[in-house]
Structure 1
């Protein structure tokens, strides 16, 4: 079999030429085989052929028929999915073309107008109010690819959630109201250490694969050879032409036979049991696993799903949905699958025979998992995530709240950590709503403590000490909010700052006031919508932009031996803050000062997993270099690219290590901190007026909070107060 030269190649690197990355390639093939699989997220290192594989996948997909003059590429034989214009025309009047499946890349810096579409400036200048389709229109019936999707602005994430939930893009702005089909397979790539995905978006991906660079030297040499030969089309076609043609044919057959592949009832039950054991939210995981198992069978040319299909599918549908507590290793998907399928007493070699002999009504399974979906949600298909929660997401503009309210229920499902009883002090009960997590180092069976210990070096004068459970303390309901640093009303809530002109994401336009540059395109569109032949003064518009207002929060914690409880509390608060960091794009850092100097244990990050790894074991020392802690916190904030900087200093006010007088050194360091921090919070681990705490408060203009009342709300309230006060510069000392 040879490759068809008439098919235009999108990628110069053929799919079979990609070395290794079997999980990546299998996930993409599953998504390509079953249109009801909503998409895939690929996590891992840069430079591991993620983008190359996506582009090469499109070359394998069968070409599709589309209405030639339709901007949305509607299918000529499917009126239900067509736009209004195509439905209004007779089938015989439609000009049909054969095209390659579209692959549309959504850049991180794209504007909302570019994504959803807007009024055409060119037509507006001619006096016509015509809609100019955006990237969602171009991606209809194709693939929408987002690199570094975890860094995508929230307003664009909301757009994707809306379109994914309904399969329709609705635009109502600039005097136009348009709805058009926007059904696409969403594929995203990300490096998890750069930040987490919003839970609502993560749950929309039916499939997930993790990729790493090849470590085998022979494979790495092979990668070099293939990259060097990439530009030689003739050599590539000769070497991989047959393999590409075979894959293309296999994918075509799989897509055509997907509806006839049956999923026996026993495997539906197995999928439901597996997802229940995994403790995943909702039913999307169940449905995705069923569809992926059907796609796996279709790709292998089998008319019926066998156990190995279910097991393979679950490897890609469950890992990104599994939940773990801070400072715990995430559940091992392979261990979960092994435990589940070992209990079912079904052998790999007997799968086909056992399913052939099973007493199953195949006529009821001919549609695979789709029949199960119809019981949950009547009427047409959407993005492949048919559950009761989909309707709720659509009603809420695609903004789920999957991450909230589920942790409390999970505690009844998740077993207590093995070291929970032995690793914590008797006087420190677990009071966190989310459940405390014992330091794994207390678990006799743990093999991680040595590795984690090596990951945090000690400075002279320090010793290693475990800090036990990392939990933010509960705040007594009777505590006066003013004492805890919280505002009445809505403590901790932050608003996005909108302003005319400047930098940021364009969210809307308004009549020009002369305070900002005129938005020419919006002005022309306004004039056209009013029927003006030329732009009048009252047509002039200016852009209103929304500033990101992300915060950098630095914890500087006294690491002397007597401050172990304070470090314990601070670590818990850091994890609580990072759980919600994706909402505001905040970054959190951790500085420990003990012994002779201060050390940045956690560089600014939004990653919960990275924080858990770096803060698993914290150093302690016998002396207190308070000035070094303040100075290091100031340096971290100064280096951070953030408009809001908050320093949280946890200390008992003692300082016995300094260059010269500890009091004068502390005052100088506090002045340095005041010069870069938007807000400073001093958490008193003893009496608030003790030691050098009053000096820091006076010089840095800080707020004082008792250690017993430290919580994530105290920190977020400090950020919100600084933002609401319009304090875009450094904090000023009190007079």
Structure 2
């Protein structure tokens, strides 16, 4: 089975495991102002599989992928080379424009030039792409869901870049034998069904499942800002960021926004403590001093206990 077979076109609703990764992607879609998701883990842990499946469900196509060797012109836009060689200036949209309203996937983001990463993160947080050509500056409204992946064994991100990713997930390989068996059987079964399809035929059952799931996320996105956040919840978000020594104010904001997205995802009209508890890890683990200093981002049971104590007012 090759990378382009069932494992990379497995419907999102059929993917087993990696619940944290899936949740982070969904929250970033529901609340675009979160500013993107960083997935950190070794090769073979399903990062690309989940991202591609999510993009196909939401956009009915694979994500726009930014290559490691991408130049600034390729990212923000430049001129069509063929026309330029003939002396004509014809604008060529960059990858950020191509990703508008879709998912932008940056594999091995830690190996990308810092300047390019900065540009992408600026557009993600502001929704504005500034393109400068021939001394003229043009602003374009661009919105996409940013997902970056990295293998920590190949180096980390600079602290100022790490902090600007809204959510971060440590992705690990499934170690439990029964769970690995479930993943394997799911992929093999889907691969078998694909081989039985006639030309032009689709796996209608899976397509319908994806549509229903997509509708839930779209509804949550539409209702995001109708979800109320009580003042006491906001204060607990601030206390969490302070307790984990997150630098600046971004952590406070991301916890509150992600909690609101989580509440919207579950059809609530008001954010509760449990919503904050379920997103705190994603918003804080990469903003702690040890993470910013050496890219060490483990989150343990003691951290979970600390979150619960603050939310319970202990």
Distance 1:278 1:333, change over 3 A: farther
The answer (yes or no) to whether the contact 2:34–2:258 under 8 Å persists in 1 is yes
C-alpha contact 2:34 2:257 (8 A) present in aligned 1? yes
Change over 3 Å in CA distance of 1:242–1:140 after alignment to 2: closer
Inter-partner Cα distance in structure 2 for 1:344 and 1:25: 24
Instruction: Describe the superposition over 1:107-154 as per-residue Cα deviations: whole angstroms up to 9, x where unpaired.
Output: 102222211211223333555322111111112232211111111123
Cα distance, 1:16 vs. partner? 2.0
Counterpart of 1:203 in structure 2 is: 163
Matches within 5 A, 1:487-502: none
Q: Which structure has greater strand proportion?
A: 1
Show the 5 A alignment for 1:588-627.
none
Residue equivalent to 1:272: 238
Q: Alpha carbons of 1:151 and 1:218: their partners in 2 closer, same or farther (altered >3 Å)?
A: same
Is 1:49 matched up with 2:46? yes
- Tell me what 1:335 maps to: 302
| Number of the residue aligned with 2:251 | 285
Distance in 2, matches of 1:238 and 1:102, equals 19
Q: How far apart are residue 264 of structure 1 and its match?
A: 0.9
CA distance 1:193–1:34, shift in 2 (3 Å): same
Distance verdict in 2 for CA 1:287–1:101, change over 3 Å: farther
Rounded Cα–Cα distance in structure 2 between residues aligned with 1:260 and 1:162: 27
Residues 74-113 of structure 1 mapped to structure 2, 5 A cutoff: 103-113=63-73
Paired residues for 1:404-415 under 5 Å: none
Is the contact made by 2:56 and 2:63 (CA closer than 8 Å) also made in structure 1?
Answer: no
Question: Residue 304 and residue 342 in structure 1: after superposition, are their counterparts in 2 closer, same or farther (change >3 A)?
Answer: same
CA distance in 2 between counterparts of 1:101 and 1:239 reads 18
Q: Which residue of 1 aligns with 2:31?
A: 34
The residue correspondences of 1:430-469 to structure 2 (distance < 5 A) are none
| Aligned counterpart in structure 1 of residue 147 of structure 2, from 187, 195, 212 | 187
Contact kept, 8 Å, 2:37 with 2:168, in 1: the verdict is yes
What do residues 514-539 of structure 1 show as CA deviations (whole Å, max 9, x unaligned)? xxxxxxxxxxxxxxxxxxxxxxxxxx
Given that 2:281 and 2:299 are in contact with CA atoms closer than 8 Å, whether structure 1 keeps it comes out as no
Instruction: Please list, as runs of the form range in 1=range in 2, the aligned pairs for 1:216-227 lying within 5 A after superposition.
Output: 216-227=176-187
Gaps of 5+ in 1: 1-10, 64-99, 348-735
Aligned length: 299
Measure how far apart 1:40 and its partner are: 0.4
Give the Å deviation of 1:103.
2.6
2:17 aligned to 20, 27, 37, which one?
A: 20
* Whole-angstrom CA distance in 2 between matches of 1:154 and 1:265: 37
* 1:56 Cα offset (Å): 1.4
* CA spacing shift, 1:181–1:238, aligned 2, 3 Å: closer
- Report the alpha carbon displacement of residue 331 of structure 1 after superposing the two structures with TM: 7.2
1:623-646 Cα deviation digits (max 9, x unpaired): xxxxxxxxxxxxxxxxxxxxxxxx
* Counterpart check, 1:306 vs 2:306: no
Question: How far is the alpha carbon of 1:169 from its aligned partner?
Answer: 2.7
Considering only aligned residues, what root-mean-square deviation do their CA atoms show, in Å? 2.8
- Higher helix proportion: 2
Q: Structure 1 residues 334, 39: CA separation in 2 closer, same or farther (over 3 Å shift)?
A: farther
Please state whether the residue corresponding to 1:150 is helix, strand or coil: helix
Counterparts of 1:248 and 1:165, CA distance in 2: 24
Inter-CA distance 334–291: structure 2 relative to 1 (3 Å threshold): farther
Question: Residue 189 of structure 1 aligns to a residue in which SS?
Answer: strand
| Structure 1 segment 144-159 matched on structure 2, within 5 A | 144-159=104-119
Deviation, 1:195, is 0.5
Q: How big is each residue's C-alpha offset from its partner over 1:609-660, in whole Å with a ceiling of 9 and x where there is no partner?
A: xxxxxxxxxxxxxxxxxxxxxxxxxxxxxxxxxxxxxxxxxxxxxxxxxxxx
Larger Rg: 1
Q: Using the TM superposition, give the Cα deviation of residue 18 of structure 1 relative to its aligned residue in structure 2, in angstroms.
A: 1.5
Kept in 1, the 8 Å contact 2:163–2:287? The answer is yes
Distance 2:215 2:130 in 1: 37
Written as runs of structure 1 = structure 2, the 5 A alignment for 1:96-175 is 103-125=63-85, 127-173=87-133
The runs of 5 or more residues in structure 2 that have no matched partner are 1-7
Task: Tell me how far 1:290 sits from its aligned partner.
Answer: 0.6
Q: CA–CA distance in 2 between the matches of 1:125 and 1:158? A: 30
Q: CA deviation at 1:243?
A: 3.8
Describe how 1:553-702 pairs up with structure 2 within 5 A: none
Structure with bigger RCO (C-alpha 8 Å, 6+ apart): 2
The equivalent residue for 1:237 is 203
The answer to whether the 8 A contact 1:323-1:331 is kept is no
